[in-house]
């Protein structure tokens, strides 16, 4: 049996090249090797307030972006988290074996909570729901960007704690980070990771930005005061531009050094911009085609949910049995 892969993205903000290089591109790369489930995690998105109409539209946009990136719905399941109720069900059961101190230590929680006047409980529970997403499908591999590594560590801790309390139940999943592009930094401030929620006009390149805007954003990227590229001593802004180029092009370190060492920053930026545009233009064309086909997206999402729901329901039944919750002998699904 093929190892199962699970990953997801939140339908909030605009997906950017960090999301693509850190996660989506690698999903496409491994989709034929494993049994993959790619989720649109709408229940995670509502841990901070979302305008309902915008959220509804974003869920469809993210699904179309998965497809435009090359995720093949014939070999992978693409589904929306809230359409399989077992995600929320398992999350509660896992909440009950998770010490609150583990959750309070999460850096993403601390950063998000610091920005809110009143902190919703969902924000604290966020990583437990993420653990439920993964453990529900007994996923062995979870391909994500570096910022999710701590949440995956916690997922493993929760799985191990459950297994030691109730007996071997869950596969303990591994993390899969890309070699290049696991942490793309903001173009306006290379000390901060590129983020969907940052507000600066020159912070990120969104996957649906038009070529002119992409050029402008990259040409304005923060570098440093050196005159030209030196791959070994470059500051974070230049390293970030080089990482973006390398992740899109697939060049090795030698090729990068030979091509870019000694190049002026203006030329480096031009080449990075053209490399990004050459990948995003066909991507955007596919996105337009997918979103103009009536009914297609809903069909993909329905089929995805139908395919994975029985796996999720089996796990919930198993967990109920392990914990001593009620399961009807006549109909084990209840
Ligand atoms: P999110 O935007 O939080 O829904 O993240 C979706 C996926 O993109 C996750 O796997 C993240 O780890 C990844 N990701 C988000 N931001 C970045 C970034 N700046 N660089 C690399 N990967 C990222
Ligand atoms: N927390 C992840 C992020 O913001 C999204 C996510 C939710 C996820 N559930 C997941 C990623 C399960 C991988 C596996 O990026």
Give, rounded to a whole angstrom, the gap between the first and last alpha carbons of the chain. 28
Which of 218, 219, 196, 234 shows the shortest CA–CA distance to 10?
196
At residue 76, the 3 state secondary structure works out as coil
What pLDDT score was predicted for residue 331?
A: 55
SS3 at position 1: coil
List Cβ neighbours of 176 (8 Å cut-off, separation of 6 or more).
26, 30, 141, 142, 143, 144
Whether ligand 1 lies within 6 angstroms of the CB of 178 is answered as: no
**Ligand 2 closest atom vs CA 130:** 9
**What superfamily in CATH does domain 211-290 come from?**
Tyrosyl-Transfer RNA Synthetase (1.10.240.10)
pLDDT computed for residue 60 by the predictor: 97
- In angstroms, what is the span from residue 326 Cα to ligand 2's centroid? 30
Q: Going edge to edge, which strands form the sheet with 35-40?
A: 77-80, 35-40, 4-9, 141-143, 174-176
Predicted model pTM: 0.96
Substitution candidate for ligand 2 out of 58, 91, 151 with most atoms within 8 A of CB: 151
- Residue 262: closest CA among 305, 230, 220, 307: 230
Report domain 4-177+294-332's class: alpha beta
Contacts of 203 (CB under 8 A, 6+ apart): 186, 187, 188, 189, 194, 195
Q: How many residues does the chain have?
A: 334
Q: Which of 95-99, 137-141, 158-162, 224-228 comes out lowest in average pLDDT?
A: 224-228
Which residues belong to the active site? 112, 193, 196
Tokens of 14: 């605009």
CA dist 43 and 130 (Å) reads: 10
The domains of the chain are located at 4-177+294-332, 211-290
> How far is the C-alpha of 247 from the C-alpha of 243, rounded, in Å?
6
Per residue in 142-201, pLDDT tens? Answer: 999 999 999 999 999 999 999 999 999 999 999 889 889 999 999 999 999 999 988 888
Taking the mean position of all CA atoms in its chain, how far away is CA 24?
7
Read off the pLDDT band of 333 (50, 70, 90): low
Separation between Cα atoms, residue 316 and residue 309, nearest integer Å: 11
């Amino acid at each position: 049996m093929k190892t199962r892969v699970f990953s997801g993205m939140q339908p909030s903000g605009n997906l950017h090249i960090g999301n693509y290089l850190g996660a989506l591109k690698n999903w496409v790369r491994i989709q034929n090797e494993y049994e993959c489930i790619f989720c649109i995690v709408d229940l995670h998105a509502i841990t901070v307030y979302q305008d309902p109409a915008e959220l509804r539209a974003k869920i469809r946009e993210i699904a179309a972006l998965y497809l435009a990136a090359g995720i093949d719905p014939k070999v992978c399941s693409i589904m929306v988290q809230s359409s399989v109720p077992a995600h929320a069900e398992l999350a509660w059961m896992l909440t009950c074996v998770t010490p609150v101190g583990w959750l309070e230590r999460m850096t993403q929680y601390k950063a998000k909570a610091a920005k809110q006047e009143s902190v919703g409980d969902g924000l604290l529970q966020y990583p437990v729901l993420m653990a439920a997403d993964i453990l529900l499908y007994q996923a062995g591999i979870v391909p994500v960007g570096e910022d999710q590594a701590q949440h995956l560590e916690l997922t493993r801790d929760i799985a191990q704690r459950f297994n030691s309390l109730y007996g071997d139940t869950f596969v303990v999943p591994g993390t899969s980070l890309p070699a290049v592009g696991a942490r793309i930094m903001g173009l306006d401030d290379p000390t901060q990771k590129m983020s969907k929620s940052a507000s600066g006009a020159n912070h990120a390149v969104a996957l649906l930005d038009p070529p002119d805007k992409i050029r402008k954003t990259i040409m304005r990227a923060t570098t440093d005061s050196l005159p030209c590229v030196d791959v070994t001593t470059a500051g974070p802004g230049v390293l970030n531009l080089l990482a973006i180029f390398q992740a899109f092009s697939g060049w090795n370190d030698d090729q990068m050094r030979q091509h870019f060492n000694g190049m002026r920053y203006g030329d480096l930026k031009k080449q990075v911009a053209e490399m990004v545009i050459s990948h995003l233009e066909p991507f955007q064309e596919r996105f337009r085609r997918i979103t103009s086909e009536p009914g297609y997206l809903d069909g993909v999402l329905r089929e995805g949910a139908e395919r994975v729901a029985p796996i999720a329901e089996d796990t919930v039944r198993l967990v109920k049995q392990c914990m001593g919750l009620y399961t009807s002998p006549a109909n084990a699904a209840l």
